[in-house]
Chain A
Amino acid sequence: MIEAPSTLPTGGARLPRGQTLRRGLAANPLLVVGGLLSALIVLIALLAPLLAPFPGDAGTATHPFLVLRPPSAQHWFGTDNVGRDVYSRVLYGARISPLIAVAVLAIACAVGIPLGVAAGYFGGWLDEVIMRVTDIFLAFPPLLFALALAAVLPASITTVIIVIALTWWPWYTRLVRGQAASVAGRPYIDSCRALGISRRRIIFRHILPNSITPLIVQVSLDVGGVILTVSALSFLGLGAQDPTPDWGLMVAEGQNYFLTSWWVVTFPGIAILVTAFAFTLLGDGLRDLMDPKRIFLR
């Protein structure tokens, strides 16, 4: 989440159509891989109750006579320290992290877009105030702010969502504001105003649609970042609580047994890695696809 918003030319940023799209995809195998992986993860999340051999293990069920069994035909990923099937829990975990990510980014957009558009379009003191407040929030590295808040609030999934959303909205405000300001400064907007078109129409028909496109790319890039932040908070015990099959929590609980039972940590860890990787790849590919320069270079 350190990356400044991409250096996209603001004018022609649009998703290419038809042949250009196909050529773009062929030129971008990483995008294809990212897209397929992300779709697979979403599918797993949706179908978890059908795919998991022990769905109760994602809840409060335990099997104390089957603790720490290595991967076998019955338990593909082995069992954890209270006998729960790691495979089932990893599958159900696909519902948690991405869901939190969606909630977080939705809130961040819901807050960031209006503020950004307002700051960019109206300018002046409103812009100054909003930007200074954003600067203050941006003075905290994302995990740090989330951590400080999560440490003082009771640990739960709701806390995690609120806390990370509070950390994320400033980036989007800034991104949208930059776009909105640039669009608002263009001559045709002046023409609109001269023609007497209402402010609301100008904002909703012209400013908003043109400001959001880079945001879409940024959001898909950020899914991976949010998932990593969620798992970090869970690892520190500040997020979902047992028995929720949150991947970060599973790693935290399993680290004491890592030496003798590597599977308890490894499979949730791979899940986090693959999910973050998939969505970041997708976002990266999307950004490339939308950059006209990129297409010409081939």
Chain B
Amino acid sequence: MKPHRAGLLLASGSALALLVAACGGSSSSAPQHAASQVFTYDTTAPVMDDGWDPATEYSDGIIAMSNMYETLTRYNAVTHKIDPLLATSWSKSADGLTWTFHLRQGVHFHTGRPMTAQAAKAALMRTIKLGGGAAYVFSAVKTISTPDASTLVFHLKYAAPVDLAASAAYSAYIYDTQAPGGGSLAKWLNAPHDSGTGPYTVQTWNKGQEFEVILKAYPGYWGGWNGPHYKKVVFRVVSQDSTSAQLLRSGQVTFVEQVSPSVWQSFKGDPGIRTVSAPSWQNLLAQINSKTLDLKLRQAISYGINYPGIIAALHGAAVPSSGLIPDGLFGHSTDLPNYTYDPAKAAQMLKQAGYGPGGKPLNLTLTYTQGDSNEQVVATLLKSSLAKLNIDLRTQSLAWPTQWAKAKSSDSTNHQSIFLEYWWPDFADPSTWFTNLLLTEHPPYYNLSYYSNPALDKQINKVDELTATDPTAGSQLYHAMQVEVLQEAPLQALYNVNYQYAMRNSFTGFVSNPAYAGVVFVHNLKPTG
């Protein structure tokens, strides 16, 4: 074709494209009326990979589930008290072995059935029986009785704070076990369906896709829908920080769970965006392989980690930690023999074992979770500071399921030397750092330092009951355990996470609650935009 004709075609073609783009594009840049009723939560990894069963969910799924399901009580991080939710009041007997909960009236499951004490009991018993997730929070429970339709009584084997357990982020949901009629509940739930009492119910699940989960309002919610509320909740999986930032700036997402610190800083000054910095109960752990690395090596490695460097590099996303238990939880202590960055001491300890600068090189592997830029920075800094000690640390980034499967594999030659992961409590109680990470496990599940210390096991199994009956003694035991763990160095808490949330300021009512990591209770928000 003639060049000038081609040029004309080119010009008209691009004009047409731009015109169409303008029509289509305008619907994405200017917020529509319908859009202000939709709360879009931007997360970096898929939310419902663990399945749809509220009894066994033990991962990021609570971000969505906490809007579909509810618990008997909820922990209030501002007042440090336990608030009523599905239970309106409760009391315990003098010896602490009997807890009586009075349930809220007029609550219905999304299946239409009313929430009665029998239904609540059935849910809790199923959760306890399945034993998955954080079901251990109810390990003190012997039996549950239902004297009438709105009273739930827990009979315990030993004293334990049931109100706190009932507020757990995992495995404490109340759901309708009769949902599928006669069939398997697990299958029905994974269809997906939900049988919760919460303000939202599942509308769609696009597994493996960007708009992963869509929730819609449940009209019969006991909390009601008076006043401005979000009618839909969308969970959008966006793996890249820069994309999330741009989506937030253009208003296409409402809330961003996590971005790198520098991107978070760049939001300040943007009139449409609100940044929230809040403490968390989450820390980053380096679990050191106790089977392949003996005590001296573990301690040397612990001295070879550049703690202040890591915190500086993370620009406000990290604060120094003391011991295993984060600040704000029972048992936290600043009076502990924490490790400092002491390369000279580390070199000396390594030399005694024949390693270190001038000695044999030590070859280690580290795995961390793919998609987390902070973990990548930490891994690089670890590699760098250990390289100075003649330790060659090979770092590998893997998708979380792959990272975890590799650590749990029955072929122990496949196990990493250092496992990087975040840890946070299932409920407002510090025992999880010990029961999940340090109890002897065959085969390994979360004890990915493969550590076994029978004396410590005894202490761990005792501490819950002790805390319930004698808090001072409990606090002392936690202190002793933390000292032991520091000296044995099967794992190190590298830092405590500082939440850096970013959201549109088109709504009010957001409160960061460290007891429910990453959860936004959307019904409590009031859209203003």
A and B in direct contact, judged by CB atoms within 8 A: yes
Let me know if B273 is at the binding interface, CB within 8 A: no
Given contacts A81-B377, A242-B380, A243-B383, contact A64 B312 (CB under 8 A): yes
Q: State in angstroms the CA–CA spacing of A253 and B380 once bound together.
A: 11
Q: State in angstroms the CA–CA spacing of A257 and B259 once bound together.
A: 10
Let me know if A203 is at the binding interface, CB within 8 A: no
* Contacting residues, chain A, for B344 (C-beta < 8 A): none
Question: What are 24 A-B contacts with C-beta separation under 8 Å?
Answer: A59-B387, A60-B384, A60-B388, A61-B384, A62-B380, A62-B384, A64-B310, A65-B313, A68-B262, A81-B373, A81-B376, A82-B313, A83-B313, A237-B397, A243-B384, A255-B242, A256-B240, A256-B260, A259-B241, A259-B245, A259-B263, A259-B266, A260-B265, A260-B266
Instruction: Kindly supply a per-residue 1/0 record for chain A positions 72-112, scoring 1 wherever the CB is within 8 Å of any chain B CB and 0 otherwise.
Output: 00000000011100000000000000000000000000000
Looking at the assembled complex, report how far the CB atom of A283 sits from the nearest CB atom of chain B, in whole angstroms. Answer: 28
Given contacts A62-B381, A257-B241, contact A242 B309 (CB under 8 A): no
Q: Which residue of B lies closest to A154 (CB)?
A: B396
Looking at the assembled complex, report how far the CB atom of B119 sits from the nearest CB atom of chain A, in whole angstroms. Answer: 46
Let me know if B203 is at the binding interface, CB within 8 A: no
Let me know if A258 is at the binding interface, CB within 8 A: yes
Looking at the assembled complex, report how far the CB atom of B309 sits from the nearest CB atom of chain A, in whole angstroms. Answer: 3
Let me know if B299 is at the binding interface, CB within 8 A: no
Let me know if B410 is at the binding interface, CB within 8 A: no
Question: Which residues of B are interface residues toward A (Cβ below 8 A)?
Answer: 240-242, 245-246, 260, 262-263, 265-266, 306, 308-310, 312-313, 315, 373, 376-377, 380-381, 383-385, 387-388, 394-395, 397
Given contacts A256-B373, A257-B260, contact A60 B383 (CB under 8 A): yes
Q: How large is the interface on A (under 10, 10 to 19, 20 to 34, 35 or more residues)?
A: 20 to 34
Instruction: Give me the 8 closest cross-chain CB pairs, A-B, nearest first.
Output: A64-B309, A60-B387, A62-B384, A64-B313, A256-B241, A260-B262, A256-B373, A260-B266
Instruction: Kindly supply a per-residue 1/0 record for chain A positions 257-284, scoring 1 wherever the CB is within 8 Å of any chain B CB and 0 otherwise.
Output: 1111100000000000000000000000
Tell me if A82 and B384 are in contact (CB < 8 A): yes
Q: State in angstroms the CA–CA spacing of A136 and B497 once bound together.
A: 52
* Contacting residues, chain A, for B377 (C-beta < 8 A): 67, 81-82
Q: State in angstroms the CA–CA spacing of A81 and B263 once bound together.
A: 12
Given A243-B380, A255-B240, A256-B260, list of 13 further CB < 8 A pairs? A60-B387, A60-B388, A64-B312, A65-B313, A82-B380, A243-B383, A256-B242, A256-B263, A257-B262, A257-B263, A259-B242, A259-B263, A260-B262
Looking at the assembled complex, report how far the CB atom of B460 sits from the nearest CB atom of chain A, in whole angstroms. Answer: 35
* Contacting residues, chain B, for A83 (C-beta < 8 A): 313
Q: State in angstroms the CA–CA spacing of A216 and B227 once bound together.
A: 76
Q: State in angstroms the CA–CA spacing of A65 and B310 once bound together.
A: 9
Q: State in angstroms the CA–CA spacing of A253 and B313 once bound together.
A: 15
* Contacting residues, chain A, for B395 (C-beta < 8 A): 241-242
Question: Which residues of A are interface residues toward B (Cβ below 8 A)?
Answer: 59-62, 64-65, 67-68, 81-83, 237, 241-243, 253, 255-261
DSSP majority for the A interface?
Answer: loop
* Contacting residues, chain A, for B260 (C-beta < 8 A): 256-257
Q: State in angstroms the CA–CA spacing of A62 and B377 once bound together.
A: 10
Q: State in angstroms the CA–CA spacing of A68 and B263 once bound together.
A: 11
Tell me if B313 and A81 are in contact (CB < 8 A): yes
Q: Which residue of A lies closest to B239 (CB)?
A: A256
* Contacting residues, chain B, for A260 (C-beta < 8 A): 262-263, 265-266
* Contacting residues, chain A, for B312 (C-beta < 8 A): 64-65, 67
Pick from B262, B306, B310: contact of A261, CB below 8 A.
B262
Q: State in angstroms the CA–CA spacing of A237 and B395 once bound together.
A: 12
**For A253, A256, A257, which residue has the most chain B Cβ atoms within 10 angstroms?**
A256
Q: Which residue of B lies closest to A59 (CB)?
A: B387
* Contacting residues, chain A, for B384 (C-beta < 8 A): 60-62, 82, 243
* Contacting residues, chain B, for A65 (C-beta < 8 A): 309, 312-313
Q: Which residue of A lies closest to B311 (CB)?
A: A64
Looking at the assembled complex, report how far the CB atom of A141 sits from the nearest CB atom of chain B, in whole angstroms. Answer: 25
* Contacting residues, chain A, for B240 (C-beta < 8 A): 255-256
* Contacting residues, chain A, for B265 (C-beta < 8 A): 260
Q: State in angstroms the CA–CA spacing of A82 and B377 once bound together.
A: 6
Q: Which residue of A lies closest to B383 (CB)?
A: A60
Q: State in angstroms the CA–CA spacing of A67 and B242 once bound together.
A: 18
Q: Which residue of B lies closest to A61 (CB)?
A: B384
Q: Which residue of B lies closest to A67 (CB)?
A: B313
Tell me if B380 and A259 are in contact (CB < 8 A): no
**For B308, B383, B385, which residue has the most chain A Cβ atoms within 10 angstroms?**
B383
* Contacting residues, chain A, for B266 (C-beta < 8 A): 259-260
Pick from A60, A61, A67, A253: contact of B376, CB below 8 A.
A253
Tell me if B313 and A259 are in contact (CB < 8 A): no
* Contacting residues, chain A, for B388 (C-beta < 8 A): 60
* Contacting residues, chain B, for A257 (C-beta < 8 A): 241, 260, 262-263, 373
* Contacting residues, chain B, for A81 (C-beta < 8 A): 313, 373, 376-377, 380
Looking at the assembled complex, report how far the CB atom of A59 sits from the nearest CB atom of chain B, in whole angstroms. Answer: 8
* Contacting residues, chain B, for A241 (C-beta < 8 A): 394-395
**For A59, A237, A257, A260, which residue has the most chain B Cβ atoms within 10 angstroms?**
A260
Given contacts A242-B380, A255-B240, A256-B373, contact A67 B315 (CB under 8 A): yes
Q: State in angstroms the CA–CA spacing of A59 and B310 once bound together.
A: 18
* Contacting residues, chain A, for B313 (C-beta < 8 A): 64-65, 67, 81-83
* Contacting residues, chain A, for B306 (C-beta < 8 A): 64
